[in-house]
Amino acid sequence: MSPFERLPARHSRVGGIPVTRLLPVRQRRLIGAWCFLDHAGPSHFAAGEPGLRVGPHPHIGLQTFTWMIRGRVLHRDSLGHEQIIQPGQVNLMTAGRGIAHSEESVAGERELHAAQLWIALPYADRHTPPRFDHYPRLPMWSQRGVCFTLLAGEYAGHRAPTLLFSPLVGLDLHARQPTTLTLALRPEFEYGLLVLEGGMELDGEWTGPNELVYVRTAQDRLELSLEESARVLLLGGEPLEERIYIWWNLVGHSEAEIAEALADWQAGSPRFGKVKGYDGEAMAAPPLPAGQK
Ligand code: MN
């Protein structure tokens, strides 16, 4: 069996911005504990256009993970954090038992290109207290004309400061010139590769933006060719052997957990707190499908 599987993307819109959703898809729900992957943009806004606007909404059971490539987005949350994320930085919000936040393009900002990910919290950590972490500086190094930025976990002797609850890696590769390289993999990890810009050749096939290539466990390396200016996101992790439920912005280990969180949000429960300063309405939760109440 080939270690590679090419996964189809879905197109959607979030906060007024076109996004390509790579996870979850029917064929695959998780890569390690990475359980959601939206590729936002690249988008350009006309003067006076608002850009991204995502009003206050709740999360449980996950970490939201933003990797900013271009543009600036302001995060506000119900713990009182206000943080602008800039290119080359990661924002990580650990929802645990519950938090709410809003995200919007900084006033006057004309572009957005980002990867928005979620990491499922393992069962034992699902009720961890909510927190927010901003990582303005991440390990960076160059090799064979490729600039590597380590977003999460450990790679090639480097260690990212990012708070994790399960063994994961996140690595951004940005080619300054056409190059071929070998990436070391951990056999106990499964991986995904997503082209964010440009193109790569993997396993004899050319791959462009918005096709996620899944790599099964038991591989110890990967041969990759990148075209000039290509940018690729490598995600990996130990397969999470837990049943995860995702509905709207909520991740849980049972349908009952999700239903309770939805009811708490709709009731304005202090569990989620209030996001202050966002000029707009909080989001209303969509109803649960029949049979999931
Ligand atoms: Mn969110």
* Predicted local confidence at residue 287, as pLDDT: 85
* Predicted local confidence at residue 240, as pLDDT: 95
Ligand 1 centroid to residue 183 C-alpha, Å: 32
Ligand 1 centroid to residue 192 C-alpha, Å: 22
Residue 59, annotated ligand binder? yes
* Predicted local confidence at residue 290, as pLDDT: 66
Q: How far apart are alpha carbons 64 and 164 in whole angstroms? A: 11
Q: How far apart are alpha carbons 265 and 275 in whole angstroms? A: 13
Residue 101, annotated ligand binder? yes
Q: How far apart are alpha carbons 257 and 245 in whole angstroms? A: 9
Spatial contact of 206 and 214, defined as CB atoms under 8 Å apart: no
Ligand 1 centroid to residue 180 C-alpha, Å: 36
- Burial of residue 132 (number of CB atoms within 10 Å: 0-12, 13-18, 19+): buried
Q: How far apart are alpha carbons 211 and 195 in whole angstroms? A: 7
Q: How far apart are alpha carbons 293 and 287 in whole angstroms? A: 9
Ligand 1 centroid to residue 95 C-alpha, Å: 10
**pLDDT tens, per residue, the chain with 293 residues:** 899 999 999 999 999 899 999 999 999 999 999 999 999 999 999 998 999 999 999 999 999 999 999 999 999 999 999 999 999 999 999 999 999 999 999 999 999 999 999 999 999 999 999 999 999 999 999 999 999 999 999 999 999 999 999 999 999 999 999 999 999 999 999 999 999 999 999 999 999 999 999 999 999 999 999 999 999 999 999 999 999 999 999 999 999 999 999 999 999 999 999 999 999 999 999 888 765 54
Ligand 1 centroid to residue 58 C-alpha, Å: 7
Count of helices and strands (H, E) across the chain: 1, 26
How far is the CA of 22 from the CAs of 45, 124, 167, 257, 284, in angstroms?
24, 27, 21, 25, 25
Ligand 1 centroid to residue 220 C-alpha, Å: 34
Residue 57, annotated ligand binder? yes
* Predicted local confidence at residue 223, as pLDDT: 96
* Predicted local confidence at residue 293, as pLDDT: 44
Spatial contact of 108 and 73, defined as CB atoms under 8 Å apart: no
Ligand 1 centroid to residue 55 C-alpha, Å: 9
Ligand 1 centroid to residue 130 C-alpha, Å: 13
Q: Which of 94, 55, 120, 104 is nearest to 274 (CA)?
A: 55
Ligand 1 centroid to residue 102 C-alpha, Å: 7
Ligand 1 centroid to residue 59 C-alpha, Å: 7
Ligand 1 centroid to residue 213 C-alpha, Å: 25
Ligand 1 centroid to residue 41 C-alpha, Å: 17
Amino acid 108 reads G
The single residue listed with the structure tokens 């070998």 is 182
Amino acid 75 reads H
The single residue listed with the structure tokens 């056999």 is 187
* Predicted local confidence at residue 1, as pLDDT: 85
Q: How far apart are alpha carbons 175 and 35 in whole angstroms? A: 27
* Model pTM above 0.85: yes
**What tokens were used for 223?**
């041969």
Residue 174, annotated ligand binder? no
